[in-house]
Amino acid sequence: SENKSSSSGSSSGSSSGSSSKADDFVKLAQSFIGHTYKWGTEGEVSDSKGKCFDCSGLVTYCLKEIGVVPSSEPRFTVSTILSNNTYFETVPWAERRKGDLLCKVEGKNQHVVICEGGGKIVHASNSAPYPKGGVKEGSEYFTGTVRRVKAFANSSSPSNSKSSSGTAAFAKHKI
């Protein structure tokens, strides 16, 4: 049975008028809502809805696209997100915020979601026990290990919210 933790007092993320790499990451992931789930992909496979992703493929693709991870870096899996200390660091559950990754491992089942802030997530999913449907938004529905992208470590406070790339605008990808 999965326990869902309350998100009170956490995950508030950046103020709506600011731009940061964490904001860019979340906005890019959100732009793929409605796209198809396909296990083992990070956008290199497409269908009539556009690029296809699995959970860690969505994370990998978005981190590469915003320039936080080199395009030459191999695709991340949930296991590598949990073990890679070059790009990620563990933070306490109560300190999770916009752009953080929630990772869950139960035996062979692994899943990663992107925190949008306010207890909301964006992720690619298609297998039990996670809801079906491709790339979608939802509420945090499990507790797990929180991994912060090191490049986002100081990006969500208002005083550190400027992105070197300026304000990013990610159009909703056609589906």
pLDDT digits (tens, 9 = 90+) for 45-59: 999 999 999 999 999
pTM assigned to the model: 0.77
pLDDT band of 142, cuts 50, 70, 90: confident
CA pair distance 131, 138, nearest whole angstrom: 9
3-state secondary structure of 149: strand
pLDDT band of 132, cuts 50, 70, 90: low
Pick from 67-76, 113-122, 146-155: least confident: 146-155
CA pair distance 72, 97, nearest whole angstrom: 27
The whole-number average pLDDT for the span 86-107 is 95
8 A C-beta contact, residue 11 and residue 5: no
* Average of per-residue pLDDT values in the chain: 79
The whole-number average pLDDT for the span 116-137 is 81
What confidence score (pLDDT) does residue 19 get?
58
What confidence score (pLDDT) does residue 2 get?
31
8 A C-beta contact, residue 139 and residue 151: no
